């Protein structure tokens, strides 16, 4: 065992992995005790948060597209194509998540 200048030893970190694993499995125990309805509702909330983040990203990409569309040079055109692909990808993700939220909401009804 070697002590470094700030006084932390290798033993200080020896149980880190074990603690992380225990926390992971401890979390699974609490999820098992939740009702299916509560788990579905929690999933819906997480998906809605993700949906909001994707919508914000899409809004930023659309702003950039609008700004670049008025610039006539080749570099701007290439950037515009790339941003359009990003927007398409974001729209696909938004649509998929929205559909999943609707499915889960129907399951709760």
Question: Domain map of the chain by residue range?
Answer: 56-109
Identify the pLDDT of residue 9.
45
Give the integer Cα–Cα distance in Å for 104 and 19: 34
Higher pLDDT, 3 or 86: 86
Tokens of 5: 């200048």
**Containing H/E element for 30?**
helix 16-33
Tell the burial category of 79 from Cβ atoms under 10 Å away from its Cβ (0-12, 13-18, 19+): middle
Distance separating alpha carbons of residues 40 and 97, to the nearest angstrom:
14
Confidence (pLDDT) at 55: 98
* pLDDT attached to residue 78: 95
pTM of the model: 0.67
CA torsion through residues 86, 88, 91, 97, sign: negative
pLDDT of residue 13 exceeding 50: no
**Among the ranges given (34-38, 41-45, 58-62, 97-101), the one the predictor scored with the smallest mean pLDDT:** 34-38
């Amino acid at each position: 065992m070697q002590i470094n200048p700030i006084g932390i030893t290798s033993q200080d970190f020896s149980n880190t992995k074990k603690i992380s694993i225990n926390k992971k499995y401890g979390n699974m125990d609490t999820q098992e005790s939740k009702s299916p309805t509560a788990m579905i509702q929690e999933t819906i909330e997480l998906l809605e948060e993700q949906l909001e983040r994707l919508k914000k990203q899409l809004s930023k990409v659309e702003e950039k597209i609008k700004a670049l569309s008025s610039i006539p040079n080749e570099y701007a055109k290439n950037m515009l194509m790339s941003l359009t692909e990003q927007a398409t990808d974001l729209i696909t993700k938004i649509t998929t998540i929205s559909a999943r939220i609707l499915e889960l909401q129907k399951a709760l009804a």
